[in-house]
Chains A and B, each alone.
Chain A
């Protein structure tokens, strides 16, 4: 197999809560009237990590999160947190708190009262509550707004109140449901890092759900990519990006050129592929699990491609075509190059110079090339 993925299944039930497997999701399945929303998902989540469930709508990520929070009961499987089985506990008895999508702050309570809600529920003394609320307000830097009502706060402030409220009880597990969903783009990137800092300060283990790959990559230490109730791949952000496990993972994260190809020569140290779209063969500088004649996909990220007017010297890993479209992003441009076969390749070009005089333009004949280990062979 081409991809190096972490094992996403087969976790024998071990007693006690070791740090590497602080939260264990064991074969969890959730059906709604015959529709399978979550399909036998198994995951181990380490203590203190920020773990992202990434997927589109209907991927089952939110259902899985609701199973963790206790709002849904798994049809099958176990959820074990710190050695304790959660399945039969109602949400109000779980040591798990959630920051809801669009926050669900109590509109009739002040910031302080919102944060104190869970503490009051625990029957803490007034002094203890006041002290803890004070700590929380300091953690999210909202001390001045303690007496405000939620509707008097900006989106970013509301988010920090919601975070403080969900951290106030010192949960063993923090759940974030689309944490940035209600914020505008500019605020989003700032709050992502701020949120991560606060979560890391508090040291809580965190599972977040998002449909935004950038958000997952920025915030999470590890990502589980979900589709149609299945885990497609689990890994660190760079692993998922650079070593996608399959076509879905490659296409979901970032942009990619996916070329149909056939294994031509399968050697232990290298592989060559033949792609009908390219004239030159594809040379991969490492062995893969496959057989000669097998149909595969070759995934190539646009930023891995070189683009220029001169033909590269290498006999393989190159293609010639004409520039059909240019998408200008400021920091870089994406060239859409049409090959003689009709196949279109995207190539990124970093705009290092201002007003480059020799800039490529529409209709130019160009060569594209890539290094031996820049692409990924996908067998599924």
Chain B
């Protein structure tokens, strides 16, 4: 038996390198997911842990009992459906707001001189160095009836009575847009900085005014950046719990809060797991669409 034949059966170094991330994904993504999936098919029980096993030995027969009741409840109880819809709406509107604010930011940062550009990028990223919770809590101080914003507005005389912003959906929007804006700006910046400025010159040369060149050249060429930024904002925003909880008040219905309530208030782990699984599926669809789009674009570049 020669060495080459033997080599085929011995794992190579390349294999070891790939194994590390795979193991990571298995341990921290696939296994927890399977556990949650399992719990979602069980029944609530007063026990420790608080759910029934789905695989049991009954009369010496190994039986698998899948309880679909949790899922059925999701689609019959309007509270869940409303929460899903409301989450998607809040996430979608926040994403569009992030895009509307983030695109011009990214555009102008990409056009800055390299020295000022780094400072601007730093300013975008710097708030992330402070704890997420602290930053959200800071908004309580700003939006409160006696908060900075209201005191400023009263001082300028623009309003007679303090505005009620905190604990309304508006506050949740403000919080989400604020927290996720860097995730929109950074991919857009990376995309816009790559743009070949000679393409714009070529467009001007062919008769396009600056705004026409923007619509026909810059915007279509930054599409992958827009999609990446929107995904990075939309996906975590749908499942957001902290911001609606701290800023949104009782009117801000989001699926993250429902999940929290099922899990911690009702101690209904099976229902909470089902909520989580459906949310995951809801998020998976846009991710797959994005992946496919990216794939297509890569193929287009290579051929």
Contact = CB atoms under 8 A, between A and B. Distances in A.
Contacts of A121: 206-208, 212
Contact of A91 (B201, B212, B300, B303): B201
A104 B198 contact: yes
Contact of A92 (B198, B207, B217, B220): B207
Interface string A15-32: 000000000000000000
Contacts of B300: 149, 151
Nearest to B220: A108
B160 interface: no
B214 interface: no
A117 B206 contact: yes
Contacts of A98: 202, 205
Interface in B173-199: 196, 198-199
Interface string A81-96: 0000000001111001
A100 B206 contact: no
Nearest to A116: B206
Interface in A73-129: 90-93, 96-98, 100, 102, 104-108, 117-118, 121-122
Contact of A106 (B199, B204, B301, B303): B199
B203 interface: yes
A343 interface: no
Interface string B274-303: 000000000000000000000000001101
Contacts of B212: 121
A92 B212 CA distance: 11
A129 to B, nearest CB: 13
Contact of B206 (A90, A97, A108): A97
Contacts of B301: 151
Given A104-B196, A108-B221, A149-B300, A117 B203 contact: yes
Given A117-B216, A152-B303, A92 B205 contact: yes
B111 interface: no
Contacts of A96: 205
Contact of A104 (B201, B209, B303): B201
A166 B204 CA distance: 12
B202 A71 contact: no
B204 A92 contact: yes
A104 B199 contact: yes
B195 to A, nearest CB: 10
Given A104-B198, A108-B220, A149-B300, A165 B206 contact: yes
A100 B203 CA distance: 11
Contacts of B201: 69, 71, 91, 100, 104
Contacts of B199: 104, 106-107
Given A100-B198, A152-B303, A91 B205 contact: yes
B202 A106 contact: yes
A75 to B, nearest CB: 20
A320 interface: no
A108 B216 CA distance: 10
Most buried by B among A90, A100, A149: A100
Contact of B207 (A102, A107, A118): A118
A70 B205 CA distance: 8
Given A117-B216, A151-B301, A152-B303, A104 B207 contact: no
Nearest to B203: A117
A61 interface: no
26 contacts: A69-B205, A71-B201, A71-B204, A91-B204, A91-B205, A92-B204, A92-B209, A98-B205, A100-B202, A104-B198, A104-B201, A105-B202, A106-B199, A106-B203, A107-B221, A108-B221, A117-B206, A118-B206, A121-B206, A121-B208, A122-B207, A149-B300, A151-B301, A151-B303, A152-B303, A169-B207
Given A70-B205, A92-B207, 18 more contacts: A70-B204, A92-B205, A93-B207, A97-B205, A97-B206, A98-B205, A100-B198, A100-B202, A104-B198, A105-B202, A108-B221, A117-B203, A117-B206, A121-B206, A121-B212, A151-B300, A165-B206, A166-B205
